[in-house]
Amino acid sequence: MGGAAGRAADLLERFGLTEAADRPASGWSGGMRRRLDLAVSLIRRPEVLFLDEPTTGLDPASRALIWDAVRELTGEGTTVLLTTQYLEEADRLADDIALVDRGRVAHTGSPAELKALVGTHAEVVVADADALTAAAAGVLDRLTGSQPSLDRERNAAAAVTRDATLTLPHLVRTLDAAGVPLLDASLRPPTLDDVFLRLTGSPGAPTGRLTDDKERAA
C-alpha cells in the first residue's frame, strides 16, 4: 500500500487507532477523535501546522503520543504553531513562546528567557523564630538581592534571585557560617506557571511556535 493510503495506515497505527479504523468516528471517544484530527493533518506532511489545544482532555498516554508526533514534525522541518493551556506542554515543546493575557501578547521569548525574567526560588527552614530573622535579614536578602518573605508558622523564609551562580551548597555554607540552625534549604528553578502568574497576574493560554534547527539558526 503506497501513497496517501499507506501514509494514512501508518498514521492510524502510530496513534493507536488501527483497531477502530472500521468504525464510524462519531462513536469514538473524544481522545480518539483528537488523535484522528492530528493524524489527518499529517497525511501530506505540512510545512506549517496550526494546533489549537490538541491535548486538552487527553490521558497521559495519548498526550505523549501527540508530543512525540509534534517533535518528529519539527525535526523534519515543519513549523508548528501550538496553543495550549498546559504550561508544562509549552515548556517541553516550544522553541518560542508568546504569553497571552486578556487577548493580548504580554511577553515573548524562549522558555529559558521567560524563566530568567522571574528567577530562582530560594527557601530556607530554620529551627526557631530568632534564627528565621537572622536567615532572612542576614543571608537571603544578601545572597538573592531581594526582600525575603516570611512564613512564621513554618519558620521559613523565601526569596527570588536572578543570580544564576547561586548554588544550594553555597547557600547552606553561608547559613552555617552565619550560625543559622538550618533544618532545610532548597533552590527551585521557576516553572512557566510561575512566569505566567508573575508577569501577567492572571490565567490564560500561551502560544508556542516550534521550528526546526535550520529555521532557528536563521
* Residue-wise pLDDT tens digits, 109-166: 999 999 888 889 999 999 988 889 888 878 898 999 888 989 999 999 999 888 888 9
Mean pLDDT over all residues of the chain? 81
Q: What is the mean pLDDT of residues 32-46?
A: 76
Tell me the three cell numbers of residue 12. Answer: 492510524
79 band by pLDDT with thresholds 50, 70 and 90: very high
Burial (CB count <10 Å: 0-12, 13-18, 19+), residue 174: middle
pLDDT digits (tens, 9 = 90+) for 177-205: 989 999 999 999 888 988 888 887 654 44
* pLDDT score, position 19: 67
8 band by pLDDT with thresholds 50, 70 and 90: confident
4 band by pLDDT with thresholds 50, 70 and 90: low
Full-model pTM:
0.65
* pLDDT score, position 57: 80
Q: Report the b/e string of 176-215 with b at 16+ CB within 10 A.
A: eeeebebeebeeeebbbebbbeeebeeeebbbbbbbbeee
Q: What is the mean pLDDT of residues 203-210?
A: 43
Sequence-separated (6 or more) residues with CB below 8 Å from residue 3:
none
Place of cell 516550544: 94
* pLDDT score, position 54: 85
Report the candidate in 8, 1, 72 with the shortest Cα–Cα distance to residue 43.
8
